[in-house]
Amino acid sequence: MFIVDAHVDLSMNALEWNRDLRMPIEVIRDREKGLTDKLDRGKGMVSLPELRKGEVGLVVATQIARFVAPGGSLPGWHSPQQAWAQTQGQLAWYKVMEEMGEMTMIGNRKDLERHLDLWMKEDTSHSNKPIGYILSLEGADSLVDLSYVERAYGYGLRAIGPAHYGPGRYAPGTGMTGPFTLQGLELLKEMQRMNMILDITHLTDEAFWQAIDIYQGPIWASHHNCRALVSHQRQLTDDQIKALIDRGAVIGGVLDAWMLCEGWVRGTSDPLIAGVNLGRLVDHYDHICQLAGNSRHIAIGSDLDGMFGKEQSPYDMNTIADLGVLEGILRQRGYKPDDIMNVMHGNWLRYLKEIWY
């Protein structure tokens, strides 16, 4: 079945992890043998061939570069201008992939329908089809000032998540408290003017409710799970889920094990021992469906290779190609064919067609 994944950090992995994502995953893993600079070396889950193998024909792919003020403890860049330059290098990688026929940018409804026509042709092999990507900015720090929003829209950016982890120039992120900055409130106005998608992922609780009240443009949660099942500020409360449902938004379930399992310890916990499998994600889907009364608000936003790899992914997955295993689990849980289709691609596609009129 055709699959849409609403959150993969492809260019970050290509440039900062130095992975040639055109290669089979075994080649990428083999080349990283002996490297210890990152916990997930030799354990990557994502490559372009694996996306094709799993029929993941459309992704929301990120640019990401954090600004770190003096005294900050998180990794990042020492000025917004440096962060912007990093995102432009990431953009250049996507463009080279386009030139090679590996990927194709999706920026409007016409692009989307053309791409779907290509991928839905059952009489042709997926092995040479380009992966469609919608460009998203995870964390807005790299936007030097608000004029850069329109500039970025011009090169194809269609979604922005104002926050990531820690302090942010436009909004505080995961692990923080507090509202949007004054500049962040102006960012929302500029995004609304451009009809850009606001990704509420990583916002604080205070900023989340500000966004719901203020932002009148399209909203989604690209990669989020439920706080009722795994307690952490990074997860969505039931009231937040209900607010997103009321806005018609879609929530992409994320596969980072710590968001599927209470008490996860990075670098120590093991998915198999902790019982973290794809069924844990379906638990979160079940919870959202109970709140919504339907399956129209759940989908996939895997975040695979988002600074973690196989060591922190569901144990019944070897690569991103195994997302299709969800289909069988959903069927076993009693999901009907239309519900399964909603999860695998239908909800994201319906939402995009609604906002890209």
Q: How confident is the model over 265-316, as pLDDT tens digits?
A: 999 999 999 999 999 999 999 999 999 999 999 999 999 999 999 999 999 9
Backbone angles phi, psi at 305, to 5 degrees: 65, 25
pLDDT value at position 58? 98
Domains identified in the chain, total number:
1
Residue 244: band (very low, low, confident or very high) from pLDDT cuts 50, 70, 90: very high
Q: Tell me how crowded residue 315 is: count the other CB atoms within 10 A of its CB.
A: 16
Residue 127: band (very low, low, confident or very high) from pLDDT cuts 50, 70, 90: confident
Mean predicted confidence (pLDDT) in 5-34: 98
pLDDT value at position 357? 82
Is the pLDDT at 122 greater than 80? The verdict is: no
Residue 226: band (very low, low, confident or very high) from pLDDT cuts 50, 70, 90: very high
Do residues 211 and 314 lie in contact, with contact meaning Cβ atoms separated by under 8 Å?
no
| Locus of tokens 């089979």 | 24
List C-alpha distances in Å: 97 to 19, 82, 162, 220.
Answer: 13, 23, 26, 26
What percent of the chain lies above the pLDDT cut of 70? 100
Q: Tell me how crowded residue 348 is: count the other CB atoms within 10 A of its CB.
A: 25
List C-alpha distances in Å: 17 to 11, 38, 309, 326.
Answer: 9, 9, 12, 28
Q: Give the integer Cα–Cα distance in Å for 213 and 240.
A: 12
Structural domain range at position 94? 3-355
Q: pLDDT tens-digit profile of 183-193? A: 999 999 999 99
- Measuring CA to CA, which residue among 243, 320, 237, 291 is closest to residue 21? 320
Residue 23: band (very low, low, confident or very high) from pLDDT cuts 50, 70, 90: very high
Backbone angles phi, psi at 165, to 5 degrees: -95, 145
What percent of the chain lies above the pLDDT cut of 90? 97
Q: pLDDT tens-digit profile of 76-92? A: 999 999 999 999 999 99
* Residues contacting residue 150 through CB under 8 Å, at least 6 positions apart: 190, 194
Give this prediction's pTM. 0.97
Mean predicted confidence (pLDDT) in 125-138: 94
How do strand 251-253 and strand 298-300 relate by DSSP bridges? parallel
Q: pLDDT tens-digit profile of 70-80? A: 999 999 999 99
Do residues 181 and 169 lie in contact, with contact meaning Cβ atoms separated by under 8 Å?
yes
Q: pLDDT tens-digit profile of 148-168? A: 999 999 999 999 999 999 999
Residue 125: band (very low, low, confident or very high) from pLDDT cuts 50, 70, 90: confident
Task: Give the domain CATH number at 44.
Answer: 3.20.20.140
Q: pLDDT tens-digit profile of 168-178? A: 999 999 999 99
Read off the tokens for 314: 């569901």
Q: Tell me how crowded residue 165 is: count the other CB atoms within 10 A of its CB.
A: 18
| Locus of tokens 């988002």 | 306
Q: Give the integer Cα–Cα distance in Å for 327 and 335.
A: 9
